[in-house]
Chains A and B, each alone.
Chain A
Amino acid sequence: ETGVTQSPTHLIKTRGQQVTLRCSSQSGHNTVSWYQQALGQGPQFIFQYYREEENGRGNFPPRFSGLQFPNYSSELNVNALELDDSALYLCASSLDREAYGYTFGSGTRLTVV
């Protein structure tokens, strides 16, 4: 049974650019959540996807968007990157949206210059 895998592990982008981060859920998990963790802070909830539909969103602007695919893998897209978007982006999967167990990936470290 594989865990949650995220790609890429590190990424450097220029302000104003767009970025796509990817996440493969743990086998059998149909729910994916994305979190942003700024340096020295706890993770902040961005949104959750359940069976390809958004199932809750945190306090992030619309330039943060996502997708979930039929195989339950997911993408996080961020448009018009700002310096403050520099953070560790974590993906977590769970068996379903009611499940209490979340498996986190190792994250993608995004640096915006």
Chain B
Amino acid sequence: DAGVTQSPTHLIKTRGQHVTLRCSPISGHKSVSWYQQVLGQGPQFIFQYYEKEERGRGNFPDRFSARQFPNYSSELNVNALLLGDSALYLCASSLYISSYNEQFFGPGTRLTVL
């Protein structure tokens, strides 16, 4: 079975640009979460979506937004990129929305902002 997939693998942008990252969850999983992992730190929670609705948001500015589609795939959008947005962006999926559910992580998208 395919795991969580993310695209693109790597991305280079310049300050002020916009970026869209994509995630496909494991088949049958209805919840998708997004995390930002800066070098040397653990993943930081950005968003959680379940059944196309935002169900959780971390401490990130409004430049960050996301959505979930009817097929449960998800996009993370970041506007007006800053140098500090350079990080590995991880997507994780789980069956349902519950603090008990195991999350399955994708390989991440490495974003570099110049």
Are these two chains actual partners, yes or no? no
Residues of A participating in the B interface, judged by any CB pair closer than 8 Å: none
Residues of B participating in the A interface, judged by any CB pair closer than 8 Å: none
